A = this chain, B = another copy of it.
C-alpha cells in the first residue's frame, strides 16, 4: 500500500475527526475506496475506537432507486394494489407510507427509515470515503426519484450532521478521469491537497474569519468581457464564519478543506458561476442566478439547466443561499470537477443554495433550511473584488493582508 494512504487515514482520524478511544465511528467506503477504508480501519483499531462500515456504492444506490421506480409503476407481481388513475396527487414530500405510488409519480419512500436513523443517532463520528468506479453511475435515475428520496431522508441527514462527520475521497481512476488527469498524476494532486500542515493553514485563514465575523454586508463584483457580470450583496450580520481547516475542532467537515465560509441572507443582485460542476450526475456550466429579497427569482445555465431547476424546486429553502465560501487553499492548483477540491481553491468564491450549516448561526437560531446544499463557484482571479461593509478585502484574488494587494483600482 502507498504509504500516503496510511498518512491520509491518520490525518482523517486524528486531525480531522479527532477520534478517541471508545468513540463509535461509522465509516462509509465507496466501491473503489477499499484501500483507504483498510487504512482507516487499522487506525481506528489502534486508537481503540469502535467501527461500523457502510458500503457507499453509487451502483447499489442506483439499483435501489431504479427498483423503486419499477415498483412504483404498479407492475409488480406481488398483488399490490397500486392505483392506475394517473391522479398522482402526492409529490413525495408528504406521504409517509410504503405503498406503491400511482403511475407516473415518483416512488414514495419511507420517511427516515429506522436503521439509518439509529446508526447516526448512535454514532459519535461519520467518516465518508468517496471514490467509486463511475462518477456518473446514477445518471439514469429520474430527478423526481432523487428528490423524493432526499426529501424523505431529511431526519437521517440531520442526525448524520449532528455527528463529528468528515467527508474525503480516495483517489480513484474514475475521479482521475473526471478531472481529465492520469491516475498517478491525480494521486499526487489529491495527496498534495490532503497531506498539508493544517495548523499553519488554519492560522492563515483566521484573517478572513475575523473580517467576516466583524462585518455586516458582503458585496462581490466581477466584470468580464466574456461573461455576465456579477454584482451581488448579502447580509452576514450576526453570523459566524467558519475557519474550515479540515477538522471538526474548527467546525470543518471536508478533507481537504481550506476555505472560510458563512451563512448569508437577504441576498440581492446577480451572480455568475463560471466553474463547471456536476449536479446529480449532470454536467452544469455557466450558471446565472438573479436574487430578490434573498430568493432566486430567475436562473439559467448554458448546459444542465434542468438539473439546476430540479435543485431549485426541491423545497422553499433551495432558492435561498445557505453558504458563502472563500477558497483559500493555494495547494489546489486546478479545477477537477469535484466540489470537494474546487471550492477550496484559492482565487475562487462560491455560493450554495440550500441548507445552511449550524456552525454559522447563533445558538438556537435556525438558518436556511432545505433538503439540498449545492455549491456554485466563480473564478475571481481577474477583474473582481469582494467588499465587506464597503471596504475591499480581496481584489483579483489577492487578500488585503497579502503582498500586491491594491485597495483601489
Interface residues of A (CB under 8 A from B): 21-22, 24, 26, 29, 31, 34, 37-39, 41-55, 57, 59-61, 63-71, 76, 78, 80, 97-100, 107, 109-110, 113-119, 121-123
Q: List 21 A-B contacts (CB under 8 A).
A: A24-B113, A24-B114, A24-B115, A29-B57, A37-B57, A37-B60, A38-B60, A38-B63, A41-B60, A41-B67, A47-B71, A48-B99, A50-B110, A50-B114, A50-B115, A52-B113, A53-B54, A53-B57, A114-B122, A118-B118, A118-B122
Complex: how many Å from CA A69 to CA B26? Answer: 20
Q: Which residue of B has the minimal Cβ distance to A59?
A: B38
Chain B positions within 8 Å of A34 at CB level: 31, 57, 59-60
Q: A60-B37, A98-B22, A113-B52 are in contact. Are A46 and B76 (CB under 8 A)?
A: yes
A45 to B66, Cβ gap below 8 A? yes
Tell me the minimal C-beta distance from A153 to chain B in angstroms: 10
Q: Which residue of B has the minimal Cβ distance to A55?
A: B55
B45 to A68, Cβ gap below 8 A? yes
Q: A44-B67, A118-B121 are in contact. Are A113 and B57 (CB under 8 A)?
A: no
| Among B21, B39, B64, B107, contact of A42 (Cβ-Cβ < 8 Å) | B64
Chain B positions within 8 Å of A100 at CB level: 21, 48
A45 to B64, Cβ gap below 8 A? yes
